[in-house]
Chain A
Amino acid sequence: MKPAPFDYVRPSHLGEATEILVKGQGSAIPISGGQSLMPMLSLRVASAETLVDISRLFELKTVEETSTGISYGAATTHAAIEDGKLPDPSRGLMHKVASGISYRAVRNFGTMGGSLALADPAADWPACLMALGALVTIVGPDGNRTVTVPELIEGPYTTILAPGEVITSIEVPRLPAEARWGYSKFARKSGAFANSLSVAVIGGGNKARVVIAGSSTSSSLLTDTASLLDRTPDATEDDLKTAIRDDLTKVDPNGDDYQHRSHAAIVLRAVQQARLP
């Protein structure tokens, strides 16, 4: 037994969960897959007076087709996406990302909602969902709100979630047939958190989105690179490198030379992959 003591409750519906979480004012926290929270509790870098088990709430498990895409319940696991049994609006990108997260035993229980709420800078879902322009629905004591991923995540391990607020679903817009994506992850070991992770989505009539994430750099949109791709879809590699470097000095001002070179190489790989015919 390694975590400090806590109480445990398993509410039977979402309203009850938010009520307990609101009353706890931060000393009560939700546990979903537990695949990040458990090690954090064991290492005692996180603590709670009450753990509110949201892993069985049916409200977080619904997956439905909407007019613009697919809405996934926050408790959708990485493995469910990996296995391709759910509808996929991303034309394979989400499957690719899911299957590279950690290891199967972790993917069986870890959830998309948990990954977004934790906002680990090196996590895969925030980067992927940011590149896809996903919308996150949050339920709290004062009702619902829907935000984009950049609005949700303020920085490493920091989100706008207030005590009592629970992510309930993530809506991923359908990628047009002509859109292309690229994904590249550099980690020391397969399944480990990324040193550098990039997702690029271009074409299909939408504005390009290029995202970098990794080690200390929270998922961030690379706007210079994206607008270069919008203006000049076949921009030269040198021009891309310049745009990427400019973006990195903005989104990762404290990154050292090694980190910037690693990030730049991975972004370039993702963009080049997305530009393949």
Chain B
Amino acid sequence: MALLEIKNLYVSYGSIRALHGISFKVEEGEVVTLIGANGAGKTTTLKTISGLLRPDKGQIVYDGVDITRMGADAIVRRGLIHVPEGRRIFAPLTVRENLEMGAFTRKDKHEIEESMERVFTLFPRLKERVEQPGGTLSGGEQQMLAVGRALMAKPRLLLMDEPSMGLAPILVEEIFEIIREINEQGVTILLVEQNAHMAFSVAHRGYVMETGVIQLEGPASELAENPQVREAYLGGG
């Protein structure tokens, strides 16, 4: 059974429909990427999974449980964690407090402290800035904080919305290296990306979305070779 299964999902903003019946699966242990042009509905899909938006129709099954109508906080408690588009760091809170918020649903202080140490080994730069307000970090550091904050929740499935957005190429490499590392530690990842090239390099499988529907799917290596995909998302080459 898949860890996450989306069945025929329809989502609207007011009277404007953004998703027109999409279905896909994420198996435990995989990195699955969801690519598509601006406005295709990728962010909408992730927000609906994590409970920020309510679908008109369709079903979301996570770990065998229907979470379609569940509150966002209950979903987090099940280990389904969403790293939102644009990082959404709590600017007035310190780096430490941001990380603590990531662990909001956890109780054991000792384990939380351990997770924090693990985040600091992954991102030593955050450790140097623990008492600094999150809003004073650079864009790249904020992205590290956003990922670190999500890891504080002990995720089983991580939804990542454009983690490479606005980062210098060297940092993009670094972030993808970390995504791979997180996955190797047993976390399943659903990765939304504009940078299809990098996304295919870490993902096992992928889905291509266009204006609210899924156009193509397949193993990442196959999608990367697909002429249509190359034309639209990999710069023609």
A binds B: no
Residue positions of A touching B, CB distance < 8 A: none
